[in-house]
């Protein structure tokens, strides 16, 4: 990235598309063109991993931390490759333009992808075999886990027959034979996803745009990762978690947030020289030019909650392994383009790790205008070059919604005084965008909802509320020539 850069935050699923969900095809290309035309150097997205309805289609909960989400595969690019016909594309129903209807999208896209996979496997290209061999360390477990979960009617793997549950060698060999077709389908879908992703990444980089990805710190119990590596997590003899993840009470919830994923057994991870972690991080660093580690503080010390607790209140802080892991990662590649999500309860030990490893953290302007504004680290005058500044993130209200519903009258007055302007519902988004862009932070990122001046109806996620998240989509043509021109002018004015 440039010494001063800016970019937009928009998940792939939020792109316009006539197929009900944003994908890696023409609309992604059009968004890249817009970024380049307005001088943006960064496109930030959410995790690319596959989701399912059991996790409310949350990209931070996945059945495979190494895998790509087949719902992001572009039907149009498949048709360009001769894997679908134009008539296949015309079977798409009338999907909502402003949100993702995941059940409807999954039902239609599964049928279409099955046709594409059949055509692909009838005459696979030579690079398919090379891909499967190169990615075998994660791909084979992911493919088999997916096949077995389908065969067991979606039952939790802790209730599967003992042979496959405990990964007995003979049982796995039998399963690979009986599930041969399902394994080939899973491999093919991952190849098609990664071929489209590689195309998009090469195009982005050619336009001078870096792709900024996101890696959740935790993985789900119901994932290929935990099933294949149970000893790396704090599980009981019945393969169920002894403890689960979360955070204590915070801005988003008075009882904390109970995420429910198993926590790591760091002694067991040390014994493997962090092999699984290194493979996961290096894979993400291959996929992205810049990588955000979600809930970074959990690598330094994490909030551990008993698996039977109804809320996150009765947890405890347990030391993690951030320094050892980062030092080991540095030995495998010295240039780590990492950003730490350092929001929430941040202590001196977390700050020390960020400082010692030169990792930039995040600054959220919506949090800056409380009574302690003069000393708050997110206030524009306190933001240094090493931070990444945001108006808000996918977990926040869009700025207009924050101003209308969350900001107190006193917060609004402080913002008004700080801006030395009449800040209103109509201009609060550009007020905060301007503050972010004019700050000293090396990188300024604006969620597209804020660029468009949208309110609470466009919120991507409500932490602590499971349903109704991750569905927002940008309507076609929403970023008008006027909006693009204003963004380009501000980018040039602020040297980004």
Active site residue 341: yes
Give the span between the Cα atoms of 220 and 38, in whole angstroms.
38
CA distance 380 to 437: 10
Given 29, 88, 184, 294, the catalytic residue: 294
The set of long-range contacts for 137-142, using a CB threshold of 8 Å and a minimum separation of 24, is: 137/279, 138/64, 138/66, 138/67, 138/224, 138/279, 138/283, 139/66, 139/67, 139/186, 139/187, 139/190, 140/183, 141/224, 141/225, 141/227, 141/228, 142/63, 142/64, 142/66, 142/67, 142/186, 142/190, 142/224
Q: How far apart are CA 343 and CA 365, in angstroms?
A: 12
Q: 293 forms bridges with which residues in the sheet?
A: 215, 340
User: Which residues share a beta bridge with 206?
Assistant: none
- Closest to 43 (Cα-Cα) out of 201, 215, 205, 209: 209
| 395 given a catalytic annotation | yes
One of 29, 250, 309, 395 is an active-site residue; which one?
Answer: 395
Annotated active-site residue in 58, 214, 220, 341: 341
Strand order across the beta sheet in which 388-390 lies = 338-340, 290-293, 210-215, 42-44, 5-9, 443-447, 388-390, 362-364
Q: Which residues of 340-363 are buried (b: 16+ CB within 10 A; e: fewer)?
A: bbbbbebeeebeebbeebebbbbb
Distances (CA, A) of 93 to 97, 104, 111, 384: 12, 9, 13, 49
Enzyme catalytic residues: 294, 341, 395
């Amino acid at each position: 990235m440039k010494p001063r850069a800016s970019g937009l935050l928009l998940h792939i699923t939020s792109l316009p598309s006539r197929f009900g969900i944003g994908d890696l095809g023409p609309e992604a290309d059009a968004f890249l063109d817009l970024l380049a035309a307005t001088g943006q150097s960064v496109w930030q997205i959410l995790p690319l991993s596959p989701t399912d309805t059991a996790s409310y289609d949350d990209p931070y909960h996945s059945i495979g931390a190494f895998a790509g989400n087949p719902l992001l595969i572009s039907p149009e690019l498949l048709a360009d490759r001769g894997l679908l016909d134009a008539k296949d594309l015309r079977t798409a129903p009338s999907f909502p333009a402003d949100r993702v209807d995941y059940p409807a999208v999954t039902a239609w896209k599964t049928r279409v992808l099955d046709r594409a996979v059949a055509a692909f496997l009838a005459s696979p290209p030579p690079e398919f075999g090379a891909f499967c061999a190169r990615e075998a360390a994660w791909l084979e477990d992911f493919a088999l886990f997916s096949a077995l979960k389908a065969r067991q009617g979606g039952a939790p793997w802790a209730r599967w027959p003992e042979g496959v549950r405990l990964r007995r060698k003979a049982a796995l060999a039998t399963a690979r034979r009986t599930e041969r077709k399902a394994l080939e389908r899973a491999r093919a879908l991952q190849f098609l996803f990664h071929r489209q992703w590689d195309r998009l990444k090469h195009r982005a980089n050619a336009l001078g745009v870096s792709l900024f990805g996101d890696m959740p710190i935790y993985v789900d119990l119901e994932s290929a990762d935990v099933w294949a590596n149970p000893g790396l997590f704090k599980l009981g003899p019945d393969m169920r978690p002894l403890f689960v993840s979360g955070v204590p009470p915070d801005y988003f919830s008075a009882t904390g947030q109970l995420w429910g994923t198993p926590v790591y057994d760091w002694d067991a991870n040390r014994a493997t020289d962090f092999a699984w972690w290194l493979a996961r991080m290096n894979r993400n660093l291959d996929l992205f030019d810049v990588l955000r580690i979600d809930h970074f503080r959990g690598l330094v010390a994490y909030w551990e909650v008993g698996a039977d607790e109804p809320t996150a209140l009765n947890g405890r802080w347990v030391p993690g392994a951030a320094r050892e892991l980062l030092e080991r990662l540095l030995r495998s590649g010295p240039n780590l383009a990492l950003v730490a999500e350092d929001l929430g309860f941040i202590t001196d030990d977390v700050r020390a790790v960020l400082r010692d490893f030169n990792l930039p953290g995040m600054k959220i302007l919506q949090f800056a205008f409380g009574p302690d504004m003069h000393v708050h680290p997110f206030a524009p005058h306190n933001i240094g070059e090493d931070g990444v500044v945001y108006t808000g993130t996918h977990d926040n209200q869009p700025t207009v919604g924050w101003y209308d519903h969350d900001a107190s009258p006193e917060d609004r007055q402080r913002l008004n005084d700080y801006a030395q302007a009449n800040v209103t519902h109509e201009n609060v988004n550009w007020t905060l965008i301007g503050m972010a862009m004019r700050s000293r932070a090396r990188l300024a990122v604006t969620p597209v909802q804020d660029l468009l001046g949208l309110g609470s109806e466009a919120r991507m996620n409500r932490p602590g509320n499971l349903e109704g998240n991750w569905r927002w989509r940008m309507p076609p043509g929403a970023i008008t020539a006027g909006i693009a021109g204003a963004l380009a002018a501000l980018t040039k004015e602020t040297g980004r």
